[in-house]
Amino acid sequence: MDQKKDIRQLKLEELKTWFEAQGQKTFRAKQVYEWLWKKSVLRFDDMTSLSKDVRALLETNFVINGVEIADFQKSKDRTIKNAFKLYDGNVVEGVLIPTETRMTACISSQVGCSLTCKFCATGKMERLRNLNADEIYDQVVLIRNQAETTYQVPLTNIVYMGMGEPLLNYKNVLESIEKITSPEGLGMSPQRITVSTAGVSKMIIKLGDDQVKFNLALSLHAANDEKRSRIMPINDSNSLDALADALNYFYEKTGSRVTFEYIVFRDFNDQIEDAQELVDFCRRTCAKVNIIEYNPIDQGEFQQTTEARLRAFAGHLEENGIIVNVRRSRGKDIDAACGQLANKNKAATKDLGFGN
């Protein structure tokens, strides 16, 4: 027997063609599409505007490979880390990050990661596969529902900063953003979405060619090639010169200023000379800087810098006219902070009072 196709892999026109072949009215396709992408249902029986016969026809021919929350933990600072179970049994993680002004979903784009960044727990995992667009979309829906159920606050922002390198899953990431931002989908503003990359120059150029409307962040962490290659092997094939050219092209095409993410590691990249190198690199591009506290990982070789050095580093950037924001880590006590995602959830969903 042929395996049923996941209906969310079909485009609207393909769904119309299928309904027509079944002797059904083609407007049914638009109804189904709305149930899938605007109302986010994961069961054909929940598509109540369709007749029982049509729902049965869909059930016979298709599946909806939905994502579910298998496990989650809640931090002392209200951050919630989720383990999302995929249809094939793989697990990725996503985080709900509440602050006074924002409610942010941090979502994953791959199962594992292939980039082996030295400071990142996900980088120690094998990359098993890319996520489909619908699996990325589902993470947003689940975290949005979590925000509204737990904190009675709507989701305001989405960051592609979870597991995986988004630009190595380019097609599915852009398709997921289309579903999240489209009026036929969740209708969120692309200006509320940030995609973070470790630096894939040719794909940054493609983002410019595609004139994307969302924000772009670059995980920089060192502004000279020797240091950056030591902690991020991707720099060997995507040097700072190549990245600067790609980012300038991106800015020229989109008018969007990139954000450099810079984790400060003690005795590695936290000196004033490191800050000056970052100033110089910022001046080569149109960029602002997020300084990020380091979050230790198991068997990690780096340490968090001191508060004094962090303040001096940020101060040097500001004195040189660089827009800088110091981002304090959240969810460290449950391994939910930046760089810590590695499928280590322990709590059961029922313990926190919500879930599927």
Question: Burial level of 206, CB count in 10 A (0-12/13-18/19+)?
Answer: middle
Q: Which neighbouring-strand residues pair with 91? A: 85
Query: Annotated catalytic, 93?
Result: yes
Which residue in the list 106, 113, 117, 338 is annotated as catalytic? Answer: 338
Which residue in the list 59, 93, 165, 277 is annotated as catalytic? Answer: 93
User: Do 292 and 264 meet the contact criterion of CB atoms below 8 Å apart?
Assistant: yes
User: Phi, psi (5° rounding) for residue 159?
Assistant: -125, 130
User: Do 157 and 193 meet the contact criterion of CB atoms below 8 Å apart?
Assistant: yes
- Residues near 218 by Cβ (< 8 Å), separated by ≥ 6? 196, 197, 198, 199, 243, 247, 258, 259, 260, 261, 287
Place of tokens 């004139």: 211
Among candidate residues 259, 272, 278, 276, the one with its CA nearest the CA of residue 308: 272
DSSP letter, residue 323: -
Report, as residue numbers or ranges, the catalytic residues: 93, 338
